[in-house]
Chain A
């Protein structure tokens, strides 16, 4: 019997909770929910609904514009066509723009450029990149035959692509509504009992050097897809790794890139918490509170092979991770083959199913 009215509300139906002296629990008259005081106090902690806080600045104290003696050994090039700004050592000459193919790149002054913190050296060769592209074509039924035979690799360039690497932590507190269903039979009746639960998960997740490419010329999808890079091979930046390769200069600032890193870390945190909720038939997020703690940000050059091909006046761009050899790029589709295969699968199946139903 209820003996004392409290100001607490039922986490399930929001009805008033009453303290039951016999059970020592808070009970809801509306949905028959029963909760211990500790549980309700835990659930009643102030939590704004579906919020995401980012209130800290990135730690950029170690970023430096001072190239030291390396400044004299650097060359800078600019592409007047697409605006790409490329860096290389004095022994490497840029003869054309690796992004737009414009052959009229011009030498410019190295000034005001941020010195990278880290670099991952290339560990794959140009030949391996070409071989990887040929392998990429294999086993693709929908690839036009003519694409394989007619298209030629126009250019293969090894480029050190600028990336911002973000450290950070995400605090998340998420509450779900979950149900578990039991079905049993009694005579000619089916009884469905649904147990309702409030599930709460809160935790802190740390992220180490989440990469976001800092070049507008590099398609984000390509750069995202060639991940991950192994940071075991990460070295302090040195000019010694540059000969024979071009290095792009960042043209997307860290604040803009940070938004992408924040989104990725937040999604991973939400997924990680959700993966700890199991054994239920349904689970719906009721509210979530996410707080991002920003850590250090690093500027790094990561190795990428860029392969350009042209077919039917259309450019196809492929990118290969210069460290792991992972190659990505979108291929054209032969729509005749697509619909032919569609008919070749569906029609015999239709005939087969007609026969099965008939006999």
Chain B
């Protein structure tokens, strides 16, 4: 398992080092677009990996405080007295849709 993970990490590192400079040297993109692309390439995978690892980590901790008492609620003796949904007013915002004139790609 360790060997597979190590090989996977090494191959991926090589690929990243190969592709990111190519991505950076592609002159057809503006610097903002390039920074945005690089940020996506780095941040999205980090976010997905962190989410997955945190799910596994949360499985290691099963003793947690209970903040509710749903299991002990007696539905027969529970009821709503007031259920009121009252419309008060509306607000309206109008904004121009930006025209996309960027046909560089």
Residues on A lying within 8 angstroms of B by beta carbon are: 10-12, 28, 31-33, 35, 39, 42-43, 136, 140-143, 169, 173, 178, 185, 188-211, 219-222, 224-225, 227-228, 261, 263-265, 267-268, 271-273, 276, 319, 328-333, 338, 340-351, 353-355, 357-358
Q: Which of B25-84 contact A (CB under 8 A)?
A: 26, 37, 40-42, 44-46, 48-50, 52-53, 56-57, 59-74, 77-84
**Chain B residues within 8 Å of A199, by CB:** 84-86
Interchain nearest-CB distance for B70 vs A (Å): 5
Q: Which of B76-105 contact A (CB under 8 A)?
A: 77-97, 99
A268 lies within 8 A of B70 (CB): yes
A272 lies within 8 A of B69 (CB): no
**Chain A residues within 8 Å of B40, by CB:** 353, 357
Lowest 7 CB-CB distances: which A-B pairs, in order? A349-B45, A347-B12, A351-B15, A354-B19, A346-B49, A206-B77, A345-B49
A271 lies within 8 A of B68 (CB): yes
Bound-complex Cα distance A198 to B11 (A): 58
Name B4's closest neighbour in chain A (CB-CB): A344
Bound-complex Cα distance A240 to B78 (A): 37
Interchain nearest-CB distance for A290 vs B (Å): 14
Given A196-B91, A268-B68, also A203-B22 (CB < 8 A): no
Interchain nearest-CB distance for A40 vs B (Å): 9
**Chain B residues within 8 Å of A200, by CB:** 82-84, 86
Given A228-B71, A349-B48, also A276-B80 (CB < 8 A): yes
* Residue count of chain B within 8 Å CB distance of chain A: 66
B81 lies within 8 A of A195 (CB): no
Interchain nearest-CB distance for B90 vs A (Å): 5
B49 lies within 8 A of A333 (CB): no
Interchain nearest-CB distance for B67 vs A (Å): 5
**Chain A residues within 8 Å of B22, by CB:** 358
Interchain nearest-CB distance for B76 vs A (Å): 8
Query: Which has the most chain A C-beta neighbours within 10 Å: B15, B22, B84, B97?
Result: B84
Between A and B, 15 residue pairs with Cβ closer than 8 Å are A12-B89, A136-B62, A140-B59, A190-B94, A193-B92, A201-B82, A204-B77, A222-B63, A268-B68, A332-B60, A333-B60, A345-B49, A345-B52, A347-B9, A347-B45
Bound-complex Cα distance A4 to B77 (A): 44
Bound-complex Cα distance A353 to B19 (A): 10
A207 lies within 8 A of B59 (CB): no
Contact code string B1-24 (vs A, CB < 8 Å = 1, else 0): 010010011011101100110110
Identify which of B37, B91, B93 contacts A357 (C-beta below 8 A): B37
Name A143's closest neighbour in chain B (CB-CB): B60
**Chain A residues within 8 Å of B9, by CB:** 340, 343-344, 347
Interchain nearest-CB distance for A340 vs B (Å): 5
Bound-complex Cα distance A273 to B68 (A): 13
Interchain nearest-CB distance for B49 vs A (Å): 4
A355 lies within 8 A of B56 (CB): no
Identify which of B2, B23, B52, B86 contacts A39 (C-beta below 8 A): B86
Interchain nearest-CB distance for A280 vs B (Å): 9
**Chain B residues within 8 Å of A185, by CB:** 97
Given A203-B78, A350-B16, also A198-B86 (CB < 8 A): yes
Identify which of A188, A206, A209, A338 contacts B97 (C-beta below 8 A): A188
A189 lies within 8 A of B95 (CB): yes
**Chain B residues within 8 Å of A210, by CB:** 69, 72
Bound-complex Cα distance A228 to B8 (A): 44
B68 lies within 8 A of A353 (CB): no
